[in-house]
């Protein structure tokens, strides 16, 4: 969400976010230097960015040999290749630090790709995947994904639910890929907005820049706004996921509003503008 005309303050544009990123860059440099000294290799490590929950993450582009499975004869071989090359994906600095110590999800994903999983006999041991497991994804990766992405819902009591359901509840509107924002309240309590992007949009070389811009069209709506403070929660109302927002002014007067979780790209500005106007009028 890079546009300066957006009616609400985007957290990524605040001094708090800038300071957080500067600290993360220094942390990342230390981890990267230690990984290099250990012999870690990859094709590319991208720029740091904030993930959905405001943790810093980075893209790792692994250069694991294509024929590596023919080279791996035992778990010790898999460990050697996993430590040296890791695996491609977006990973947080905390996860990168764990990988530096030969632990965590990067190690687990890489070993799973090479045909091994943690042994039930001991945390330090690895065993070959069963034929059934070979057809499945890494369960540890699924747990991680759910922990990072599954929304936490506010569960109001019967009276409060009835009150919220009497408020105006806007419809979720899906305009398709590259044209629709998904909104949700992340684990740190901020509203996260992300453009739903078709990763195959760049069919030509000249389209890569446009695809990159769409992938970066994401951000968090800051809790602290000009003249008011936002408290937001995910909630299910009338069978649909919505966002409950309470905007509180310094004099403790407040404005309540319900937002959809799917909104056409152009209308997200109207949504934010409506909230600001309701707070000002209150």
Position 90 in a domain: yes
Last residue of a domain, one of 149, 177, 205: 149
Position 109 in a domain: yes
Judging by DSSP bridges, how do beta strands 89-92 and 56-62 pair with one another? antiparallel
pTM for the full model?
A: 0.86
Question: pLDDT grade, residue 209 (50/70/90)?
Answer: confident
Regarding whether 135 and 20 lie in a shared domain, the answer is: yes
Q: For tokens 């999800």, what's the residue?
A: 105
Q: Measuring CA to CA, which residue among 235, 231, 251, 255 is closest to residue 243?
A: 235
What lies within 8 Å, CB to CB, of 98 at 6+ separation is 104, 105, 106, 107
Regarding whether 177 and 55 lie in a shared domain, the answer is: no
DSSP tag of 267: G
Provide the domain limits for residue 220.
Answer: 153-281
- For 119-140, the DSSP string reads -TT-TT-EEEPPTTGGGS--HH
Last residue of a domain, one of 149, 182, 210: 149
CA atoms within 13 A on the CB side of 166: 6
Q: What is the mean pLDDT of residues 182-200?
A: 93
Position 4 in a domain: no
Q: Which long-range contacts link 20-25 to residues 24+ away (Cβ below 8 Å)?
A: 20/50, 20/54, 20/56, 21/48, 21/50, 21/56, 24/48, 24/56, 24/93
CA-based torsion, 34, 110, 114, 198: positive or negative = negative
Rounded percentage of the chain residues whose pLDDT exceeds 70: 95
Last residue of a domain, one of 149, 169, 204: 149
Number of structural domains the chain divides into: 2
For residue 2, what pLDDT is reported? 46
Q: What is the mean pLDDT of residues 99-122?
A: 91
pLDDT in tens, 6-47: 899 999 999 999 999 999 999 999 999 999 999 999 998 888
For residue 199, what pLDDT is reported? 79
Regarding whether 140 and 29 lie in a shared domain, the answer is: yes
């Amino acid at each position: 969400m890079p546009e300066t005309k957006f009616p609400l303050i985007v957290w990524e544009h605040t001094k708090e976010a800038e300071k957080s990123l500067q600290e993360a860059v220094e942390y990342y440099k230390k981890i990267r230097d230690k990984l290099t000294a250990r012999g870690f290799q990859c094709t590319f490590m991208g720029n740091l960015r904030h993930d959905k929950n405001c943790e810093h993450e980075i893209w790792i582009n692994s250069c694991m040999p294509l024929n590596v499975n023919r080279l791996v004869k035992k778990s010790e071989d898999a460990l050697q290749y996993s430590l040296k090359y890791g695996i491609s994906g977006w990973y947080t600095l905390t996860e990168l630090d764990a990988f530096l110590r030969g632990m965590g999800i990067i190690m687990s994903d890489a070993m799973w790709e090479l045909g091994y999983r943690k042994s039930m006999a001991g945390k330090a041991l690895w065993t070959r995947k069963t034929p059934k497991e070979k057809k499945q994804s890494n369960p540890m990766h699924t747990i991680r994904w759910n922990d990072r992405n599954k929304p936490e819902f506010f569960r109001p009591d019967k009276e409060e639910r009835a009150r919220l359901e009497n408020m105006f509840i806007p419809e979720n509107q899906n305009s398709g890929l590259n044209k629709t924002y998904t909104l949700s309240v992340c684990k740190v309590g901020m509203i996260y907005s992300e453009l739903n992007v078709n990763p195959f949009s760049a069919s030509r070389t000249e389209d890569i820049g446009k695809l990159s811009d769409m992938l970066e069209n994401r951000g968090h709506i800051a809790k602290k706004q000009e003249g008011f403070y936002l408290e937001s929660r995910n909630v299910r109302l009338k069978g649909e996921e919505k966002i409950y927002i309470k905007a509180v002014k310094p004099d403790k007067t407040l404005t309540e509003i319900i937002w959809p979780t799917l909104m056409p790209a152009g209308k997200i500005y109207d949504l934010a503008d409506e909230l600001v106007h309701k707070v000002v009028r209150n």
